[in-house]
């Protein structure tokens, strides 16, 4: 029913306020510092609903060479999002692939109703990740990580819907493509919800995960 209600043309407009505190020294794979971001958004038009988010990213420099290269970094992130009950299905939260929970296909880790992946009102996504150099020029870095979290149909967290996916990957810097690295990851879900669509390999360029 929710999918049928959203078919056709819709006009949605929104205004958003964001407050950010950022001490990172570099926007892509920073070696240290933190970023805290709180946001509130109000949508109106064909649908009227609020949305709020709280994101936290922390980076710890564990080791580096005397010249500042060869940095080993431990990173932690946690992102909480809540949207109103009148949110249309296409604006709900979904998870899967890079920047959400790796180890699942696109939108593959989200609630299902009557065979339709409907997303949810609540999203809580976390990751702990260790970056280390594989080449002397820092062009190629390795990573080991564990993504965990959930997307829930309503404002609640249920243990049976919690996803956990450890893995490993590479970050490859190509100067001709700019400062953002290529991200190649293999993740292996060890706890999933019923109906989740798993996908071991993910590829991304741009590093949208802060």
Cα angle for residues 51, 210, 103 (degrees, 5° grid): 85
210, 35 contact by CB (below 8 A) = yes
Q: Any idea which residue has 């990740």 for tokens?
A: 129
Per-residue tokens: 148: 């965990």
pLDDT in tens, 194-206: 999 999 999 888 6
pTM score: 0.91
9 dihedral zone (left: phi>0; alpha: psi -120 to 50; beta): beta
User: How does pLDDT run along the chain (210 residues), one tens digit per residue?
Assistant: 889 989 999 999 999 999 999 999 887 789 899 999 999 999 999 999 999 999 999 999 999 999 888 999 999 999 999 999 999 999 999 999 888 999 999 999 999 999 999 999 999 999 999 999 999 999 999 999 999 999 999 999 999 999 999 999 999 988 877 778 899 999 999 999 999 999 999 988 865 544
Please give the C-alpha separations between residue 50 and each of 7, 85, 152, 162, in angstroms, as whole numbers.
Answer: 21, 9, 17, 25
């Amino acid at each position: 029913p929710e999918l049928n209600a959203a078919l056709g043309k819709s006009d949605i407009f929104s205004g958003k306020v964001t407050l950010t505190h950022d001490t990172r020294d570099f926007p892509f794979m920073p070696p240290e510092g933190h970023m805290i971001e709180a946001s509130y958004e109000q949508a109106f038009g064909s649908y009227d609903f609020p949305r709020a988010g709280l994101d936290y990213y922390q980076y710890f420099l564990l080791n580096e060479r005397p010249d500042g290269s060869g940095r080993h970094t431990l990173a932690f992130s946690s992102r909480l999002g809540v949207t109103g009950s009148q949110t249309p299905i296409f604006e709900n939260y979904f998870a899967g692939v890079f920047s959400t929970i790796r180890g699942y296909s696109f939108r593959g880790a989200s609630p299902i109703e009557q065979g339709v992946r409907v997303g949810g009102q609540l999203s809580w996504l976390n990751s702990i990740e260790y970056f280390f150099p594989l080449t002397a020029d820092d062009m190629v870095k390795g990573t080991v990580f564990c993504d965990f979290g959930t997307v829930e149909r309503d404002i609640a967290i249920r243990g049976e819907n919690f996803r956990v996916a450890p893995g490993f990957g590479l970050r490859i810097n190509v100067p001709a493509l700019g400062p953002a690295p290529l991200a190649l990851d293999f993740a292996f879900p060890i706890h999933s919800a019923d109906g989740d669509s798993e996908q071991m390999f993910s590829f991304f360029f741009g590093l949208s995960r802060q």
